[in-house]
Amino acid sequence: MNQQLAHIALVVNDYDEAIKFYTEKLNFILVEDTVLSETKRWVIVSPPGKNSCCLLLAKAANEEQKSRVGNQTGGRVFLFLYTDDFWRDYKNMQQKGIEFVREPVNEKWGTVAVFKDLYGNLWDFIEPKK
C-alpha cells in the first residue's frame, strides 16, 4: 500500500495576498492557480522539497469560513514546516518580516521556533536532528 497526504486546505481571505505571502516570504512554490469560477480558484503552494504536502489556499466563501481565517485550530500550532538548515532559513524569514512568537529552542529531537503566517495561524518551524 502507498498513501500520502497530498493537500491541506488553509482558509484565506484573498488568493493573491496569500500567494504573495507564501511565495515571497516563505519561498514556497506556486504549484497551481486555476480559475474554477468567478469567485473560486484552485490554488496550491508547496515548500521547496521533494514529496512535500501542499497547501490548498481556499478563499473563505461565507461568514462562518471567514471567522476561521487565522484560527483554524483554536490558537494551537497548526502546521509544521521542516528545514534542512534552521539558522539559514530562520534568518531569511526574519529579514522578510516573519513574526516569530516563540524564539528558537534546541530540543533533543531538533531545533524549533514558532511563527505566525499572514493571518495569524501558528506554525512550528523545525530542523529535526539527524
Matching CATH number, 70-130, of 3.40.50.300, 3.10.180.10, 3.40.630.10, 1.10.1740.10:
3.10.180.10
For 74-111, what is each residue's pLDDT tens digit?
A: 999 999 999 999 999 999 999 999 999 999 999 999 99
Q: What is the pLDDT of residue 1?
A: 87
For 14-23, what is each residue's pLDDT tens digit?
A: 999 999 999 9
For 41-76, what is each residue's pLDDT tens digit?
A: 999 999 998 778 999 999 999 999 999 999 999 999
Choose among 49, 62, 8, 56: nearest CA to 33: 56
Two domains, one topology: 1-69 and 70-130: yes
Q: What is the pLDDT of residue 98?
A: 98
Q: Calculate mean pLDDT across residues 27-35.
A: 97
Q: What is the pLDDT of residue 47?
A: 95
Contact 23, 45 (CB under 8 A): yes
**Is it true that domain 1-69 has CATH number 3.40.50.970?**
no
DSSP the chain: ------EEEEEES-HHHHHHIIIIIS--EEEEEEE-SSS-EEEEEE-SSTTPPEEEEEE--SHHHHTTTT-TTTTSEEEEEE-S-HHHHHHHHHHTTPEEEEEEEEETTEEEEEEE-TT--EEEEEEE--
Q: What grid cell was written down for 6?
A: 497530498
Buried b (16+ CB within 10 A) or exposed e, 76-101: eebbebebeebeebbeebeeeebeee
pLDDT band at 24; cut points 50, 70, 90: very high
- Provide the residue ranges of all domains of the chain, joining segments of one domain with +: 1-69, 70-130
Q: What is the pLDDT of residue 45?
A: 97
